[in-house]
Amino acid sequence: MSNQCSKIFEEVFDSHVGGCVRTCVCGKIYYDTYNDWDWEFGELERLEKNPNTFPVEYSVGTISINNEEIVIGCDCGRAKKYEDFIIQHAKQIATYLNKRADFLKEEADSIRVKGD
């Protein structure tokens, strides 16, 4: 069983932030070895020597959920846990969102703008 989230989850929660180096909420550091980045002197060498860093051949992107940045493709399984929670509670979440939407509509309808 994979500990990776689905592509749909990645797309929906994509932070639209990518770059040469990103740290996952789990502490693992990923860095792009494919694209030409303007590395600071010795930065790439430090990354290569660090046992907690992992090279990838693409700009490193993240998922943003619950104020956490999770590196896309990280094997920590954090994104999968969030997705599994949503799937397991889909009916309750849908009910909540519908009730919340009804409440917000009622609230908006009760506001009168001057001149109405």
The domain locations on the chain are 7-109
Question: Could you read off the pLDDT tens digit of each residue along the chain, which spans 116 residues?
Answer: 689 999 999 999 999 988 999 999 999 999 999 988 889 999 999 999 999 999 999 999 999 999 999 999 999 999 999 999 999 999 999 999 999 999 999 999 898 887 75
- The predicted pLDDT at position 25 comes to 97
Alpha helix (H) residue ranges in 32-89? 43-49, 78-88
Instruction: Quote the pLDDT of residue 70.
Output: 97
- At residue 65, the pLDDT reads 95
